[in-house]
């Protein structure tokens, strides 16, 4: 990636896709020596303008976040419906799902990654912001998540 790619953004998050979030967060909490975090249930995809591989989708997932200083560890349990969460779980089983970066210009970042052969696999709104999962599995061995605090326009 050229220096214009993600503009040297620092890593924000590492995520692992799991089959049982309650068991997984208990194991991680024990390893980290912390209390297990709360489990968050995402809104249905049709409520957050979710698009998966170009088509509207209604998937949900359960999330748990461990704040580890400058980075978050995220656990994701998908609901079985088609999504960027479910796809890698079905293909490879539990393990690394994505690494995430905060970006200021979502369009620039997704255009850059698309030009590098990493297409958008899923997108959705999150409050005033948005997220995009870019399928970089062939190039980087994982998905890349782009996070933006505020959607333009």
Please give the pLDDT value at position 51. Answer: 96
SS3 content of the chain, % helix, strand, coil (to 5): 25, 35, 40
Give the model's confidence band at 59: pLDDT under 50 very low, under 70 low, under 90 confident, else very high.
very high
Residue 96: beta bridge partners?
Answer: 16
Which DSSP state fits 135? Answer: E
Give the model's confidence band at 134: pLDDT under 50 very low, under 70 low, under 90 confident, else very high.
very high
pTM score over 0.85: yes
Contact 61, 42 (CB under 8 A): yes
Domain range summary for the chain, segments of one domain joined by +: 11-148
SS (H, E, C) 106-119: HHHHHHHHHHCCCC
Contact 143, 119 (CB under 8 A): no
Please give the pLDDT value at position 9. Answer: 73
CATH, domain 11-148, list 3.30.1330.10, 3.40.630.30, 3.10.580.10, 3.10.180.10: 3.10.180.10
Is the pLDDT confidence value at 4 over 90?
no
Is the pLDDT confidence value at 39 over 50?
yes
Give the separation between CA 12 and CA 30, rounded to whole angstroms: 22
């Amino acid at each position: 990636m050229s220096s214009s790619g993600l503009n040297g953004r620092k890593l924000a998050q590492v995520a692992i896709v799991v089959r049982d979030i309650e068991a997984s967060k208990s194991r991680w909490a024990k390893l980290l020596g912390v209390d297990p975090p709360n489990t968050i249930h995402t809104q249905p995809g049709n409520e957050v303008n979710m698009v998966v591989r170009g088509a509207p989708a209604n998937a949900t997932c359960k999330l748990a976040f461990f704040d580890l200083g400058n980075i978050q560890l995220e656990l994701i349990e998908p609901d079985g419906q088609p999504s960027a969460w479910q796809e890698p779980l079905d293909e490879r089983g539990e393990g690394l799902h994505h690494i995430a970066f905060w970006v200021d210009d979502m369009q620039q970042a997704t255009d850059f990654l698309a030009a590098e052969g990493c297409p958008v696999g899923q997108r959705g709104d999150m409050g005033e912001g948005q997220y995009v999962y870019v399928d970089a599995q062939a190039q980087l061995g994982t998905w890349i998540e782009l996070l933006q605090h505020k959607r333009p326009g």
